[in-house]
Structure 1
Amino acid sequence: MFDVFGSVKGLLKIDSVCIDNNVFRLHYKATVIVLVAFSLLVTSRQYIGDPIDCIVDEIPPHVMDTYCWIYSTFTVVNRLGGTVGKDMVQPGVASHVEGEDEVKYHKYYQWVCFVLFFQAMLFYVPRYLWKSWEGGRIKMLVLDLNYPIVSDDCKADRKELLVNYFTANLHTQNFYAIRFFICELLNFINVLLQIYFMDFFLDGEFSTYGSDVVRFTEMEPEQREDPMSKVFPKVTKCTFHKYGPSGTVQKFDGLCVLPLNIVNEKIYVFLWFWFVLLTLCTGLSLLYRAVVVISPQVRLYLLRARSRLSPQDQVETIAKKCQIGDWFVLYQLGKNIDPLIYKELIGDLAKKLDGRENV
């Protein structure tokens, strides 16, 4: 199992410099790891076995398996409520009359691993854009001040560089912050589109899949109709046609077992709850961001919380001078610089800004 998931361990690496926030990391780190791991899992035959096994007379098993895997299988819709004990058949695979009984074809299973990997790449797109737009600015400004042990001379020189940078670039960094906010919005749009995409991929079953599973667990045993078996049937039917010796088309009705769907049903239950939680967290994060952009008082409060060791009058002096871009860069630096060094930086910057106003 370690060999299967060993290839995603590189995604767990912690960045030396933080250029985003926890909600952002839920998208490009946690969700990408989950999707890539699931994609690898559904391709690991040593843990699941053959993805499909079909039973039919007169047709070689490997031929039937390959044919049904490529051309899809189906279940009988009005037989999905049956139980093994009552009807002596698996739900959805009872006898049916062609052209009269409604059948549902299942073609998704051969695409699951590719779709999951494609979704993982889409979740990384906002992160890629932000890294490209950010251009290593925060890492350049930190200048190893994220380490508590720095020589006094080196610390003084680097603090002076930071103070000079801020005073020289005051009110010119708004576009830098706006691009980050755009990437946060892209995260929210992406997760919504992903939910709609999976709903389309599973023929409209994903949007209510998780709630249906929860409702199923609360029902009485005799009233239960498993939604997981409806969306991810473990036993399906497959019809194979071939020409007989006289040229007549012969039809062979086979029964197919899909062990892979035992894994698929659990994967998509987890993804339903994960995506709902991710959507809520991202939506709340956007509301928080809107308040931060609109309210200077909120920015002042957040800067006080970040520079809690600094006197409040120094923080207020800086907050009055800063626009949203200046505040954002300074707040990001507070995440990466040692608190004691950050306190000294706030003090030097406040003096510089206050002295420039008095000139």
Structure 2
Amino acid sequence: MEKKSYILLFLSFFLLTSNAQEKSINHIFSKTLEVVNEKDKKGSFKGQILKGKRNGMGVLSQRNGALYIGDFYRNMISGYGMLIAPENSYVDNCDSCTVYIGNWKNGEKSGFGICYANNGNMIYQGLFEKNKPTSQYPSTNIDQQKYFSYFDFGNGEFFLGEMKKGIVNGYGIMIYNNGDLWLSNFKEGKRNGIGLYLLYNGEWETINFEGDNYNIVSSSINYRNIDANRKANIKSSLSEAFGYFAQAASQSVQIASEVQSMKEREKSFINTNSNVNISDNTSISDNNISPPKEPSTSPYSISANQNKNTDSRTYANYDGMLSKMRYGNMEYDDAKRKEYQSKMRALREKWEKRGERFQHSENEDWLGK
């Protein structure tokens, strides 16, 4: 995947005191948002779409002109991110605030967050609940050394983000002139932790920076492969389930046929011996009635299938935890990896020894980090 070099970004105060005329948010992101992953009634979205939903990081240009950059969960703004209010407007429930950076839950400000004014000064830092600040607004105990800054490099590239003591510190976004975008936290001028490199064409990579080192955690290509494997496993499971259903249906028809046959033999016997008065204690030899044929046995067992389905769900749960561990959505634990893989292997081998097909995820054979 082509992308810009991951040279660490150092931005000091003198870089950010540009005299360039401030451009609108729509202009800054115009190239990036020429190509988007999806559009709906809420606006245009570009970023991570996993399992058919907005899960991860991305950019949402809203219908009202507001711009959100940050985390999403199940199509909702949830996690941590930045909201830039529409021009000539303010962030909801926050007077004079044009930028909010902080925590979100189901589309509302929730948890710790910071409000910045149009000049970049901090207005409020504190808790939010149900989209509103819970403490005195504006704050009286704000960090005077922290502010929000904007810089136009003059070559079609821009930086927007938090600074402290003249150095990039906090949440920030770098917009490149080719439409690519980088968003992450920064610490003392360096990219810090997991961030998203979002390409112009909609592809992406999540990258983890630790000091001067970095590693690629996951990518859109990687997740497409995972999703394709997941869909293939679902299709295989459905085919197997329909096979069991066909067996059950066949067995039911056979049993119904034998029950009907037994009823007809009983009816024939009653008609043939209609003159026999059973109340007179007349004995009836066992030879007069042929015992009904036992239904033929079938290899299909409903209880066995239920057990297999339970084991399949258990296997899938372990597989899901390994995927999270493998691609950076959960802390890596080598002992847990081995434990999950051992249990997955035991479940699979249990059914394979019985001659049954069972799913086999690549995570079961993953060698870890």
Q: Report TM bin, short chain.
A: under 0.3
Higher relative strand content = 2
Higher relative helix content = 1
Q: TM-score, normalised by structure 1?
A: 0.25
Q: TM-score, normalised by structure 2?
A: 0.25
